Amino acid sequence: MSLLLTSLDALAERVGLSPGSEWLALAVTHSSYASEHDCQSNERLEFLGDAVVDLAVADLIVTSYPELDEGSGSLVRARVVNEAALARAARRLDLGSFIRVGRGEVKSKGLERPSLLADAFEAVVAALYLERGYEFAKLFVQSALGDVVAEAALSPDEIDPKTRLRQWSEATGLGVPTYVVTSAGPAHATTFAATVSVGPKLRATGRGRSKKSAESQAAQAAWEGRDA
């Protein structure tokens, strides 16, 4: 057995995958490492995991918080399924200790970046989905993010993330946040990715099934990372 798979056994046990899981090994392989070693990266798993996380959180909101209507539920989900929250979940799992990155990422301390950690968390969720099935992956996501959902559900009508970020950025002299949105996938299953920039340093990303959702998640991630 390779050293990588041996070292991953602890993580596999932690998340509920079999020892030597090939899906888990792929889930922790960043594109920077893959390009240096001519192997596959976790980007496709991250794409799948994004959808699984989104569905699992929506499922939790609908089944456990019947008092939330569609609008409030969407606000809660945006405050849960975003780069900052997923990166925190990744840190609780100590994913950064297992992710394979290229030399450049090592030098730039890429393993500390919320975006890299959030993507790895989603890739691990995809590995769970492929190896153990949706129900297992759903329970894992809900366990990892359930406390964040509960906190957000206490004040679902709090000011929306984009408005809150704009008010803060203008008040602190950073100007109006700017958003860049891209889309991918077929027309019936398009996913959107948004990047928001606030001033010269603050930058965050978000994803969703609509442009509005992606921008909202990016704004929430930027808000949570404003003091980082």
Q: For residue 29, give the DSSP letter.
A: B
The alpha carbon of 211 is separated from its chain's Cα centroid by a whole number of angstroms, namely 17
pTM for the full model?
0.72
Q: Which residues of 60-82 are buried (b: 16+ CB within 10 A; e: fewer)?
A: bbeeebeebeeebbbbbbbbbbb
pLDDT at 108: 67
Residue type at position 116 = L
Domain 159-228, what fold? Double Stranded RNA Binding Domain (3.30.160)
The four Cα atoms 83, 120, 116, 87 give a dihedral, to 10 degrees, of 40
Give the pLDDT confidence score for residue 5 in this predicted structure.
47
Sequence ranges of the domains in the chain: 1-158, 159-228
Domain 1-158, CATH among 1.10.10.60, 2.40.50.140, 1.10.1520.10, 3.40.50.720: 1.10.1520.10
pLDDT tens figures, 159-187: 678 888 988 998 889 999 999 999 988 87
Q: What is the pLDDT of residues 112-169, one digit of tens each?
A: 788 889 999 999 999 999 999 999 999 999 999 999 899 888 877 676 788 889 889 9
Backbone φ, ψ for residue 178 (5° rounding) = -115, 140
Query: CB neighbours of 199 closer than 8 A, spacing ≥ 6?
Result: 169, 174, 175
Catalytic annotation, residues: 50, 122
pLDDT of residue 120: 95
Query: How far, in Å, CA of 77 to CA of 105, rounded?
Result: 30
Check whether 2 has a pLDDT greater than 50.
no
Banded pLDDT at 110 (limits 50, 70, 90): low
Q: What is the pLDDT of residues 8-60, one digit of tens each?
A: 889 999 999 998 899 999 999 998 889 888 889 999 999 999 999 999 999 99
What is the per-residue pLDDT across 69-108, written as a single tens digit (0 to 9) for each?
A: 888 898 888 888 888 889 899 999 999 889 998 887 767 6
Burial degree of 196 (CB within 10 A; 0-12, 13-18, 19+)? buried
